[in-house]
Amino acid sequence: MSWKLFLLLLEAARLTVILSVVSIGVIGFLLATGVCAANMSQNRFARGAGWLFVSFFRGTPLLVQLLLIYYLLPSIGLDVPSEVAAVAGMSLCTAAYQAEIMRGGFAAVPTGLVEAADMAGMSRLTTFRRIRLPIAFKLTLPGLINEWIMMLKSSSLVSVVGVVELTRMAQDLAASTYRPLELYAAAGFIYLCISIVVALVGRGLEARLSWGRL
């Protein structure tokens, strides 16, 4: 395979990375904190809504979610580029998964620590900020990194709604050069490299958070 083709793939991989960072790392993450807060709240309706959200977006294939959003947006009068539908679909889906991971993290914070903070006279907000949040963050990090890698790979599905990211570029080039074997192998190799980088960064973050084993 020529360098020119590989460079085209790399160029498209940039869009894969941008889409992933925006939808998984930023929008999906923020949405997930909101959903997680709803799931842990005292309000029954908030909990119900959070449960419904998580159940639906974890219970349906991302491909179907993307297709639904892609056709739903124009039918309610929102004519947006397919990249927006892709980001919306990925963000909603990953938010459901990340919210569940976060909830698991908060549930795993030892109650003794929270009680001790209470005894020491910390307010609920201070306990949350100084005890529950940092410990839950540390506990959820491995799960979140795992989810980011899974979702990064799932971003290949946005090729179906016409976003020319890495997979779609490989598809287009394979069709025009009749060399599917090399192109899909190269695309897979690039995905593998990105996954490894994310995993290594995650490993580094976890090592930096190795204070206070629980």
Among 84, 184, 202, 205, indicate the residue that binds other proteins (CB under 8 A): 184
Among 20, 23, 39, 65, indicate the residue that binds other proteins (CB under 8 A): 65
Among 20, 127, 140, 167, indicate the residue that binds other proteins (CB under 8 A): 167
Q: Does 76 bind other proteins (CB under 8 A)?
A: yes
Distance CA 19, CA 84 (A): 10
Closer of 131 and 168 to other proteins (Cβ): 168
> What number of other Cβ atoms are within 10 A of residue 140's Cβ?
20
- Tell me which residues in 110-139 interact with other proteins (CB under 8 A): none
Closer of 87 and 151 to other proteins (Cβ): 151
Closer of 107 and 120 to other proteins (Cβ): 107
Q: Which of 197, 157, 201, 184 is nearest to 69 (CA)?
A: 157
Phi-psi bin for 156: left (phi > 0), alpha (psi -120 to 50), beta?
alpha
Min dist. Cβ of residue 171 to other proteins (A): 7
Q: DSSP states of 46-103 as a string?
A: HHHHHHHHHHHHHHS-HHHHHHHHHHHHHHTT----HHHHHHHHHHHHHHHHHHHHHH
Alpha helices in 82-179 (DSSP H): 82-107, 111-119, 124-127, 133-154, 166-177
Q: Does 56 bind other proteins (CB under 8 A)?
A: yes
Among 48, 61, 81, 162, indicate the residue that binds other proteins (CB under 8 A): 61
Q: Does 75 bind other proteins (CB under 8 A)?
A: yes
User: 26: which DSSP letter?
Assistant: I
Q: Does 48 bind other proteins (CB under 8 A)?
A: no
CB-based contact 177:5 (threshold 8 Å): yes
Q: Does 188 bind other proteins (CB under 8 A)?
A: yes
Stretch touching other proteins by CB under 8 A, among 22-30, 33-41, 136-144, 167-175: 167-175
The residues binding other proteins (CB under 8 A) are 55-56, 58-65, 67-68, 71-72, 75-77, 149, 153-157, 159-160, 167, 170-171, 174, 180-181, 184-185, 187-188, 191-192, 195-196
